[in-house]
A = this chain, B = another copy of it.
Amino acid sequence: MATREPITIKQLATMLGMAHSTVSRALNDHPAISAETKRRIQELAAHHGYVPNSAARSLKTAKSRIIGLVIPDIENRYYTTIAKTLADAAAPRSRQMMLSTTDDRPDREQSAILNLLEAQAEGVVLAPTADPTPETLAMLARLDVVQLLRHHPQIDAPRVEVADDYGLALSARHLVDLGHVRIGYIGNLSRVSTGAARLDGFLSVVGRDPETLRRVRICPPRADAAEGAFLDLMAGPDRPTGLVLGSARHTAGVLAGAARLGLRIPEDFSLVGYGDGELVPHLANGLTTLALPEQEMADACAALLGLIEPAGERPARFRPTLVVRRSTRAPA
């Protein structure tokens, strides 16, 4: 029974010869309205395909049912899982999820946050860029924010993050325990908090002498960049016998580089990835990797935004676990 022009509460009220306030209350199941009146009104509303106007409701109530998710990259499996879990939590509570990707650009971050502020978002889950603009920081102070994964010193908001230093120490320790001495690292820019923490965790185990630092490569989270870094790292003398990754998006590049150089895993070098997933067991003959509790972290975000009941403890920092498969072994 959809009409071209959406029908309004006022029109329904006119048809029924009632005040539109009564219609509004009936549609919101207000206790003061009689059952019979409610039934009549709701029937007519359904018949005419009445749909409430959320802009009008938001204007009146000064809040919307929108929650924002602002992340660098939806193609990163980690964020994909977060998006899925958050969307699943939002749907049954009639919350809408607004998704923006920043590609780690502060200008895109700023416009995403502006849009959410304009929309009077109820909450925002944000994985901040390395350098949010002053405008972004000012706007964030006016929103209910959760910092996901990364954090920025000037954003005063609860954090939901991975114990990355712990995790990367786990990765490095695994290779050391297997007997590796020359261990390389390819990871993200250390300007974002996670990049710094991951490198730090790695170095806390292998040491910080110049010799070791020469086996560290930092590059953007793209496969082609990682491939370049890998080729460069493996070109020199005293090639690493083990390699630790600090980003999921570096995996494909390293595997491509290894294929190009004809290096086998784990015969020629051992590899520890970052992040698990459906396909990861089938990479590199079974990629040893750090698994992150994406689900729990997304739940923690949802709980902090009041979307779901907090499930027991809600630690700010979640510990990754090392999943040992067949891409790591003692050096030849």
A residues apposed to B, CB below 8 Å: 1-2, 6, 49, 51-56, 58-59, 64, 66, 73-75, 80-81, 83-84, 87-88, 91, 94, 96-101, 103, 108, 111-112, 114-115, 117-120, 138-139, 141-142, 223, 249, 251-252, 255-256, 259, 278-279, 281-284
**A259 CB contacts on chain B under 8 angstroms:** 282
In the assembly, what is the distance between CA of A252 and CA of B279, in Å?
Answer: 6
Contacts A99-B99, A112-B91: A53 and B2 contacting too (C-beta < 8 A)? no
Structural contact, B99 and A83, CB atoms closer than 8 A: yes
Top 8 A-B residue pairs of the complex, sorted by shortest distance between their CB atoms: A55-B58, A252-B278, A54-B118, A55-B59, A255-B282, A99-B99, A55-B55, A87-B101
Return 7 A-B CB contacts under 8 Å, by A number: A2-B139, A2-B142, A49-B142, A66-B98, A74-B84, A91-B111, A97-B99
Contact of A75 among B55, B80, B255, B283 (CB under 8 A): B80
Structural contact, A279 and B279, CB atoms closer than 8 A: yes
Structural contact, B115 and A96, CB atoms closer than 8 A: yes
- Closest Cβ of chain B to A68, distance in Å, is 9
Which chain B residue lies CB-closest to A137? B2
**A66 CB contacts on chain B under 8 angstroms:** 98
Structural contact, B98 and A97, CB atoms closer than 8 A: yes
**A251 CB contacts on chain B under 8 angstroms:** 279
Structural contact, A114 and B51, CB atoms closer than 8 A: yes
**A111 CB contacts on chain B under 8 angstroms:** 91, 94
**A55 CB contacts on chain B under 8 angstroms:** 54-56, 58-59, 64, 119-120
Structural contact, A84 and B91, CB atoms closer than 8 A: no
Contact of A138 among B1, B53, B249 (CB under 8 A): B1
In the assembly, what is the distance between CA of A108 and CA of B97, in Å?
Answer: 14
In the assembly, what is the distance between CA of A326 and CA of B289, in Å?
Answer: 25
Interface centre among A73, A75, A91, A252 (most CB of B within 10 A): A91
Contact of A59 among B53, B73, B99, B139 (CB under 8 A): B53
Structural contact, A138 and B80, CB atoms closer than 8 A: no
**A114 CB contacts on chain B under 8 angstroms:** 51
Contact of A84 among B58, B101, B112, B252 (CB under 8 A): B101
In the assembly, what is the distance between CA of A255 and CA of B285, in Å?
Answer: 11
Contacts A56-B59, A87-B101, A278-B252: A138 and B64 contacting too (C-beta < 8 A)? no
Structural contact, B6 and A142, CB atoms closer than 8 A: yes
**A142 CB contacts on chain B under 8 angstroms:** 2, 6, 49
In the assembly, what is the distance between CA of A64 and CA of B284, in Å?
Answer: 48
Structural contact, B101 and A252, CB atoms closer than 8 A: no
- Closest Cβ of chain B to A161, distance in Å, is 22
Structural contact, A88 and B101, CB atoms closer than 8 A: yes
- Closest Cβ of chain B to A108, distance in Å, is 6
Which chain B residue lies CB-closest to A63? B55
Contacts A58-B55, A59-B55, A59-B56: A115 and B98 contacting too (C-beta < 8 A)? no
**A284 CB contacts on chain B under 8 angstroms:** 282
- Closest Cβ of chain B to A227, distance in Å, is 11
